[in-house]
Structure formats: structure tokens, C-alpha cells
Amino acid sequence: MAPHASVSSKPARATRIPTCRGDAVATDAMRDNDHVPALWEAGEWSAPASPVGMRAAKPVQMSGVFGEGVSVAVSLTFDDARASQLEGVRILDDHGLRATFYVLPSGVAAAPDRWWSVARLGHEIGNHSSTHPCSANFDFAAANALEDHTMQDIADDVDAATAMIQELIGVRPRTFAYPCGQSFTGRGRRRRSYVPVIAERFVAGRGCGSEVGNLPESCDLAHLEGYTVDGLDAGELRSLVAAGMTRGEWVIMAGHDIGADGPQTVSAPELDRFCSSLIRDDRVWVAPVIEVAERVAGVTQSAVVDALSGSPPRRRRSHLGSRDLRPAPGGQPDRRPFQHHEHPPSSRRPGAS
């Protein structure tokens, strides 16, 4: 577990929560959050308990990065292009919310017309690799282990996914989610981070299994923190947003299946309740990862321009790598649907070419 700046006086009682890595816990503070919905209803987001019970609550700091009056940005993300997501996406659509789906080409190939429709509705389609390489400690990854991969293997795998997704549904992914939240190749002295491979290709990369949100002025867009939210109820999801609101964070949630209770599943009724809450507070900006990432990148570009012109910096610069920086947008967040290519889905399947 990651170190924290401060420790609560009350010891945390650990409870297992299913995650992509299977090792995350919920603490007393996360479970004991009955006050959070009440705060939400009252519009009072004053320093709720930390979602992990370890981070001290701080006064709300309005960064202004996300737009006037917005205290927290929230990105809902779902991995693997699982079939249940094609049903669950209706919950988001009913509430007018758009998410990011980090897809495997094999999942898209199972229902290209439907995934094309998901993109057409304004949801972001992101890259989640072609073959989902993870640590050899996962049984399913034994023959495709990151410990045995080279940096070129990763680059080829990711590029192949982009090409297949583009061929299937006419969308070129602009953000990436690390399979299993893992971002290394090799082992021992030859172990390396493959984050630079992602930074060269995408506006942003999302991790998972994190214990903190992203500070827009200092986060690394190429390796964003993401909470794993499988198995969490609406109150627990709200607690994560409430904690992010105290720090002006970008809160990224990573789930898998959407439906009935089960492993790696976000409960459909709980997601529905959570979405109902999200749309009732104007201080919460819900947007796909690409849109928040471009907002964050735009603000940091302003800082670079200020530095070159001798003006006092408006914002500290994020660690952006070599990505394409966009001009800083102004005013309220752009809530228009993200523009995708409008090509009809290809009838071809991965491996057909």
C-alpha cells in the first residue's frame, strides 16, 4: 500500500473489495459513510472522511481547472469491452452521462455495431491493448506475461489494438488503460516502465487499484490514478467523489462488468443511484477521460506560454511527456458529445486482415 501524508487516529478496519488485482480493501471510513449522501443532498461537501480512512480532510480548494464553480471532475471508465457493458451503458445514457470504455479488440469484434453505437452516443472508446498482458502472477497471463515482454512487444501490441479498433468501428483511441493497472516490462534489473510508450501515443493513460485521485496541476497524464470500483455501492462511490471534492481532484473510477452482483461487477442498481446523485450537483463535472485530460493539458500549456513570455505562471506544469498540448479552453466545461469518426462499422474482424 502507498504511504500517506497523514494517518487518522482511528485504526482502519479492513474489508475486502473485489478489484482488478484482488488486493484492495475498504476501511471503516469507506464503509461508515452514511453521512455522505446526506451531505450530497444538502449540497454540503465539507470535508467528508477520506475514502481510505488515511488521508486527512482538507478545506475545499477550487482550482478553477475544471471550470467556474466546478470542484471535482469525475470520469467513469469500464474495461475489457465486456458484453454486460453494452446493457449497462443504458444507465449512463438515461442520465445523460458519458463514460470511457477501454476496449479489447476481441470484445468489440463480438458486437461491432453495438460498440459503434456506444461511440456515436458520445462515450469515449479507449485502448486497453490487444492481448491484455499482465504479471505472470495472474494465471491467465502466464503465456503473455509482462515479465517476459520487451518494450517493443508492448508498442506492437498497443498499436495493433488501435488499428483493429479503428477498423472495426472507425474510432482511433486517444487514451489508454493499463491492463491490470500494471505498466512494466521485464524483471529484476531489466524491469522497466512502459509509461513512456503510452505517453508517446496517447493523450492519457489510466491506472487502477489506486488510493488517491488526481491533482490536475501535478498529475502525470500518462499514468493517472484510478480507483477500482467493482463491488462498491452508491454510497461508497459518492464517498470517493466527496473526498475528491475536498482537494479539487479528478476522480477516475475503473470498473468491469455492469449488472447483478458478482466478481468484478459494478451493480447496475447502485450505478443508477450513483448517477442520479452525480447529475444533481453542478459542482461535479462528469466527462470521459479524454475531455478532462485535454482540459488539464490546456491549463498546463498556458503555464508554458507564460514561462516563455515572462508572465507569472498561472499554473504549475504537469508532467506531460511528449504529448500534443491543446489550447486552454475557457469558461464552463464543454459538455457537448465527443466527436468520433462517423464511419460505419467495418464488417471485418481482427485477424481477417
Note the residues at the interface with Zn ion (CB under 5 A): 79-80, 179
In this structure, the chain runs to a length of 353
Distance (Å, rounded) from C-alpha 38 to C-alpha 44? 8
| Minimum CB–partner distance for residue 129 and Zn ion (Å) | 8
Based on DSSP, count helices (H) and strands (E) in the chain, helices before strands: 10, 14
| SS3 state of residue 329 | coil
| Minimum CB–partner distance for residue 241 and Zn ion (Å) | 23
Q: Which helix (H) or strand (E) holds 284?
A: strand 284-286
Nearer to Zn ion, 79 or 167 (CB): 79
Distance (Å, rounded) from C-alpha 261 to C-alpha 253? 18
| Minimum CB–partner distance for residue 5 and Zn ion (Å) | 30
| Minimum CB–partner distance for residue 178 and Zn ion (Å) | 9
Distance (Å, rounded) from C-alpha 346 to C-alpha 246? 45
Nearer to Zn ion, 1 or 140 (CB): 140
* 284-294 as b/e: b if 16+ CB within 10 A: bbbbbbbbbbb
State the residue number with the nearest CB to Zn ion: 79
According to DSSP, the residues that pair with 268 across neighbouring strands are: none
Nearer to Zn ion, 40 or 138 (CB): 138
Nearer to Zn ion, 107 or 170 (CB): 107
According to DSSP, the residues that pair with 214 across neighbouring strands are: 250
Nearer to Zn ion, 230 or 236 (CB): 230
| Minimum CB–partner distance for residue 299 and Zn ion (Å) | 30
| Minimum CB–partner distance for residue 179 and Zn ion (Å) | 5
Q: Could you count the other beta carbons within 10 Å of the beta carbon of residue 39?
A: 18
Q: Which helix (H) or strand (E) holds 204?
A: strand 204-206
Nearer to Zn ion, 228 or 277 (CB): 228
Nearer to Zn ion, 179 or 345 (CB): 179
180: left (phi over 0), alpha (psi -120 to 50) or beta: left
| Minimum CB–partner distance for residue 208 and Zn ion (Å) | 8
